[in-house]
Chains A and B, each alone.
Chain A
Amino acid sequence: MQLTDQHRDYWRKNLRITAFLLSIWFIVTFVMAYFARELATINFFGWPFSFYMAAQGSLIVYVLIIGFYAVYMRKLDIEHGVDEGEEA
Chain B
Amino acid sequence: MSQTFNQQLKKYYSIYTGGFIGFVVLLGIAEQMGTPRAYLGYAFLVATILLYATIGIMSRTLDVAEYYVAGRKVPAMFNGMATGADWMSAASFIGMAGGLYLQGFDGLAFIMGWTGGYCLVALFLAPYLRKFGQFTIPDFLGARYGGNFVRTIGVIAAIICSFVYVVAQIYGVGLITSRFTGLEFAVGVFVGLAGILVCSFLGGMKAVTWTQVAQYIILIVAYMIPVVWLSVKQTGIPIPQLVYGSVLEKVTAVEKKLTADPKELEVRKIFADRAKTAGEKLTAGAETSYNADKAALVAKVDELKAAPTPDGAAIQAAEKAVDAFPKDVKAYEGQLKGQQGAAGRAAPPLPHGTPFVGTGKTDEDKQKSSDTKRNNFLALVFSLMVGTAALPHILMRYYTTPSVHEARVSVFWSLFFIFLLYFSAPALAVLVKFDIYTNVVGKAFADLPQWVNSWQAVDKTLLSITDINKDGIVQLAEIVIGQDIIVLATPEIAGLPYVISGLVAAGGLAAALSTADGLLLTIANALSHDVYYKMINPDATTARRITISKVLLLVVAIVAAYVTAQKPGDILFLVGAAFSLAASAFFPALVLGVFWKRANKIAAICGMLAGLGTVMYYMLRTYPFFTNLGVPKMPLWFDILPIGSGVFGVAVGLLVMIVVSLITKAPAQEVQDLVEHVRYPSIKGDKMNTAGQMG
Contacts and interface: CB of A to CB of B under 8 A. Distances in A.
B374 A69 contact: no
B112 A25 contact: no
B685 interface: yes
A48 B422 CA distance: 19
Contacts of A28: 116
A3 B676 contact: yes
B356 A21 contact: no
A2 B687 CA distance: 11
A52 B246 CA distance: 12
A84 B381 contact: no
Which of the listed residues B111, B355, B381, B426 has the most CB atoms from chain A within 10 Å of its own CB? Answer: B355
Interface in B340-386: 353-356, 370, 374, 377-378, 381-382, 385
Nearest to B355: A36
Of the four ranges (under 10, 10 to 19, 20 to 34, 35 or more), the interface on chain A belongs to: 35 or more
Interface in B233-249: 241, 244-249
Interface of A is mostly: helix
A54 B687 CA distance: 47
Interface in A30-62: 30, 33-34, 36-37, 40, 44-48, 50-52, 54-56, 58-60, 62
Interface in B645-695: 673, 676-677, 679-688
Contacts of A70: 122, 405, 408-409, 411-412
Interface in B245-261: 245-249
B111 A59 contact: yes
Interface residues of B, number: 62
B405 A88 contact: yes
Given A47-B248, A48-B354, A87-B2, A22 B119 contact: yes
B245 A1 contact: no
A62 B245 contact: no
Contacts of A55: 108, 111, 423, 426-427
Contacts of B244: 46
A33 to B, nearest CB: 6
Interface of B is mostly: helix
Contact of B353 (A47, A66, A82, A84): A47
Interface string B395-409: 000000011111011
Interface in B65-89: none
Contacts of A81: 684
B127 interface: yes
A82 B377 contact: no
Contacts of A10: 680
Given A40-B355, A47-B353, A88-B405, A63 B377 contact: no
Nearest to A74: B405
Contacts of B677: 1
25 contacts: A1-B677, A2-B685, A29-B112, A29-B116, A30-B381, A36-B355, A37-B356, A40-B353, A46-B245, A50-B105, A54-B355, A55-B423, A59-B112, A63-B419, A66-B118, A66-B122, A69-B123, A70-B409, A73-B405, A77-B682, A83-B682, A84-B405, A84-B682, A88-B404, A88-B405
Given A22-B119, A37-B355, A59-B422, 8 more contacts: A1-B673, A1-B687, A1-B688, A7-B683, A54-B108, A55-B111, A62-B115, A88-B403
Interface of A: 1-3, 7, 10-11, 14, 18, 21-22, 25, 28-30, 33-34, 36-37, 40, 44-48, 50-52, 54-56, 58-60, 62-63, 65-67, 69-70, 73-74, 77, 81-85, 87-88
